[in-house]
Structure 1
């Protein structure tokens, strides 16, 4: 009886060890697959052209999922469908996380394409007169950003006590010209160019629709808090894949891409990147 008990215990121990080994091996494989979400356009291009090749040399399998809006990438990250996303600035991230009660964390800011004022009908601000229609984002953070730019261009004036990053249409103190503002979904702004005089379009949507920075009537002087950030879940911040993701963006391969490829000319660089 004692011998049977000993053999039974030994069998359980062997199978248990095998199971643990299999589980551990599986977990290790999962850590070597990184799924990144990004909006279609420059940030997904950067991943394909420099970030993915760098990580693959490190032994990772990289999956890139493209999104066409500013909502689903954070939902997918929160629900662990992806491991990181690249599409939003820090102000948008903070507002979205608070509004949707999500725990998301910025990892590193990256070279960013500025928001621009585009037109298919005009080539100068001098064409703006009473009745001119200007489309802008209807999403709160980027609408505030657009209104601040319109103030910088001398087209309107915001209330003195309003926080620029939280401004909305109700915070307009006065127009210097009787322009007509048309808030639209950010992704729809490039398509609206045929129906309005001008449109303030976020860089990723502008470039993914075929517009060029050199075609903009005016470009934003982008402050640091509007730089695009790589975003992760806080629980993952110390994991090896996160450290390797940072290393990919700080790699010489990524620096070479941004500094030498003509299509990235005009991007706004974070301080750390300027020292690369």
Structure 2
């Protein structure tokens, strides 16, 4: 009878140790993810603020103008995108959420461009991706050659001013982020992959161009996952070992008794 009780105790304690260790590993992974997402979320909130400023400037441009049905629809679409982006940003919790927000921002910027074209009696702009060097620059006007993180020269979308700079051999007006103490263009930070996918991932044939750009993010995510799993398994093994050691000692005491 004593042996049966001891075995049941071992099973129960191992079960508890496994559950507790799994929870600890999941918490550690969530904490790592939250830390990695902070700069990405900051960038996304800045883009939403920029969209709001663009809407304010649009309001000034529209003062005293009569909008036709198309302009009113596009203007409402831009307003809705701004509100939706703010709401979605407040609940960002995982990388895919960031891409959803920047996709909404991209749609809002295109709607603003459509309003501007309509009120100035110009053709609607083609649906092109945002400027690669800084999506806040708005819709790109052409592609330019630029070295990507994989070392290859790629055609990337550029706004009019950045296209002019690159063609003249000057540096584009790139968006920079901080990674630790290092300042770098946002596309060199592997954690910015979800942010970028929201702007560029919906343009079908362009996706393969950015595969090398997104690869470091994917590998970084796998590395983070592997690190979390490794840490969790290490804690699990240590926890089980400590638990079994305590149980063995307890069972020994039980049989001595």
TM-score, scaled to structure 2: 0.29
More RCO (CA 8 Å, sep 6+)? 1
TM-score, scaled to structure 1: 0.27
Report the structure, 1 or 2, having the larger strand content: 1
